[in-house]
Structure 1
Amino acid sequence: MAVKIRLRRMGSRNAAFYRVIVQDGRYAPTGRFIETLGWYDPKQQGNNFSLNIDRVNYWLENGAQPSDTAASLIKKAEALPAEKAVSGEVTEEEVPAAAVEAEETSEEAPAAEEAEKAE
């Protein structure tokens, strides 16, 4: 099984937001994935990403191949001081608010349509 560490695009148009995921290489980049390792927001200034370094190292040791962008983020995360590097689970508080709002709006639209159909 060819395991890959990739970035999956989230968010809306002109507000790109990415999740760093582990995925079986046989699936499409938009398909099923194994685990979420972190996030990356290219429009955010300063520290615009967060990675679970422990899990990244686990997958790399087990033969996962990172994409070019994922490899760049991993290299940056390993170069950060220990207090700024994320070593544990990626929590909801770490995800930028703009990305959460964009995801919530995309989920609310189908719910509103279902409510109208029920009436």
Structure 2
Amino acid sequence: MLIIRFARRGRKGQAFFDLVVAEKSKPVQKKFINKLGYFNPRTEGGKGEFVFDKEQVEKYITNGAQVSQSAARLLAKNGCEVAGKFVAQRVSKPQKTEAPKEVVEEAPAEEPAEAAAEEASEEAKAE
């Protein structure tokens, strides 16, 4: 089975990625069938530079090649509608609704404070 995915290139800290077609069972950095383009995230604008051959990408997808999630997102974002079906929808977790906390009466907490104050005043009178 063929897959369209990114293969990392470049030095440490200065990565760029080649968009390649390879056998799914092969390691990412090893032999690939065809290079379809590249992605350089380190360009001046900060958005990255993504160049690819749209016709060849569509040809491989229509012939049954799968697309990795990261490659599918970038391809769909840059005008390749065929790759849009490989983008997994992100499921947001339902937000927990917090039940209103019951207000605990503070009256029992005040009684020991008053008792301590009374004891202190009684000791002062005794002296």
Paired residue for 1:60? 61
- Paired amino acid for 1:65: Q
Given that 2:6 and 2:17 are in contact with CA atoms closer than 8 Å, whether structure 1 keeps it comes out as: yes
For residues 79-98 of structure 1, what are the structure 2 equivalents within 5 Å? Answer: none
Given that 1:51 and 1:77 are in contact with CA atoms closer than 8 Å, whether structure 2 keeps it comes out as: no
Paired residue for 1:11? 10
- Paired amino acid for 1:39: Y
For residues 40-119 of structure 1, what are the structure 2 equivalents within 5 Å? Answer: 40-44=39-43, 45=45, 46=47, 48-78=49-79
RMSD over aligned Cα atoms: 1.3
Choose between structure 1 and 2: higher helix proportion: 1
Query: TM-score with structure 1 length normalisation?
Result: 0.62
Structure 1 residue runs of 5 or longer lacking an equivalent are 80-119
Aligned residues: 78
Q: Which has the higher contact order (CA 8 A, sep 6+)?
A: 1
Query: TM-score with structure 2 length normalisation?
Result: 0.58
Q: Which runs of at least 4 in structure 1 moved beyond 4 Å after TM superposition?
A: none
